């Protein structure tokens, strides 16, 4: 099927919220990693979200170009083409656009969708994330409202964040963030719902102790009750229809029990990046070390083309990444939930 349209994407999010499951949102940096993600969703009959960060877009554009928006457009076009060959829905999203990259990353991508819509083509991306968590709350909300107003005109969903996800990802380091900044308050969740809700549909990355990066199980101390308290405050102030579509960032190392608890509080999307990076790399390392004398021309020998052909080890990498995404789909209770299979 083609990439999901706006109505289908809204149905996906509504189904997850009502059904107590979440979609893995897989960060991709190449056609290879995008292929691994799409296949994983299809294998599990699960609709899914493929997303591109500023760093992923820059990488995809090539070292001679390093254009964040151009690389994201290239990957999105690839996903549009490949998704048509599968029987599930894929939504395209951009991840963590910090304020300094709005003009060079998010705006060009919104403009690309506006151009496409003007000639009767579908949206390039279904949703974008503005991460204004480093700003004072009022400034964060002001910019979020401006972006959502523009996005809503083109049926683009905006993701926003308040509070700070700790750790380091994609070149942004929040490892020294004060502890109180790692937890979104109920008052913030109410304010976000009140100010953004009338403008258009949005997703919300509220923080509850989540941390980007690599951690052993049990080392990340989450407080899912933060999400519960915030959603109850929103329901009390504005009504149940205004509770948030929540996004879980920094899930690596989280206990499955905590992950499942968040699904009860409206988490409908969980970003997956660190774990799939490792899954993609691990079989490549094994291949190179096992076939050292085949991938290198050692002591005047010619090596083995079938071993150093990048397609050989990239297939292994894709397969392992796909298998890791299978696990995320199961962990988030999303298997068999595709709108096209129900």
Catalytic amino acids? 95
pLDDT 10s digits, 156-190: 999 999 976 544 445 544 444 455 567 899 999 99
Q: What is the largest CA-CA distance in the chain?
A: 75
Q: What is the mean pLDDT of residues 292-306?
A: 94
pLDDT at 285 over 50: yes
- CB burial readout 131-169, b (16+ within 10 A) else e: bbbbbebeebbebbbebbebbeebbbbbbbbbbbbbbeb
What is 30-79 written as a DSSP string?
SHHHHHHHHHHHHHTT--EEEEEEHHHHHHHT-TTT--HHHHHHHHHHHH
Give the mean pLDDT of 180-204. Answer: 92
Query: Which residues lie below 8 Å from residue 236, measured CB to CB, with a gap of 6+?
Result: none
pTM of the predicted model, to two decimals? 0.92
Which residue blocks in 89-162 are alpha helix, DSSP H?
107-118, 137-153
Domains in the chain, ordered, with CATH? 6-341 (3.20.20.70)
Provide φ and ψ at 67, rounded to 5°: -110, 110
């Amino acid at each position: 099927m083609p990439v999901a349209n706006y109505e289908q994407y809204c149905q996906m999010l509504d189904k997850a919220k009502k059904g107590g499951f979440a979609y893995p949102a897989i960060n991709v940096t190449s056609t290879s990693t995008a292929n691994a993600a799409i296949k994983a969703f299809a294998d599990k009959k699960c609709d899914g979200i493929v997303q591109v960060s500023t760093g992923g877009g820059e990488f995809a554009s090539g070292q001679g170009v390093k254009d964040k928006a151009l690389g994201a457009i290239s990957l999105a076009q690839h996903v549009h083409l490949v998704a048509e060959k599968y029987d599930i829905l894929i939504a395209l999203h951009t991840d963590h656009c910090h304020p300094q990259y709005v003009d060079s990353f998010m705006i060009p991508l919104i403009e690309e969708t506006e151009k496409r819509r003007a000639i009767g083509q579908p949206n390039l991306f279904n949703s974008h994330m503005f991460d204004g968590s480093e700003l004072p709350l009022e400034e964060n909300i002001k910019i979020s409202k401006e972006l959502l107003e523009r996005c809503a005109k083109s049926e683009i969903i905006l993701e926003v964040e308040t509070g700070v996800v700790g750790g380091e990802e994609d070149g942004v380091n929040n490892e020294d963030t004060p502890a109180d900044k790692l937890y979104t308050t109920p008052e913030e969740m109410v304010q976000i719902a009140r100010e953004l809700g009338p403008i258009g549909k949005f997703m919300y990355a509220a923080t509850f102790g989540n941390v980007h990066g690599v951690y052993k199980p049990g080392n990340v101390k989450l407080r899912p009750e933060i999400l519960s308290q915030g959603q109850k405050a929103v329901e009390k102030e504005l009504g149940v229809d205004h509770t948030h579509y929540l996004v879980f960032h920094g899930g690596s190392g989280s206990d499955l029990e905590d992950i499942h608890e968040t699904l009860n509080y409206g988490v409908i999307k969980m970003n997956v990046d660190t774990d799939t990076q490792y899954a993609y790399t691990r079989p490549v390392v094994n291949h190179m070390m096992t076939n050292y004398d085949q991938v290198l021309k050692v002591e005047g020998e010619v090596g083995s083309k079938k071993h150093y052909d990048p397609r050989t080890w990239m297939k292994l990498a894709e397969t392992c990444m796909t298998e890791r995404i299978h696990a995320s789909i199961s962990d988030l209770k999303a298997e068999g939930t595709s709108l096209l299979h129900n």
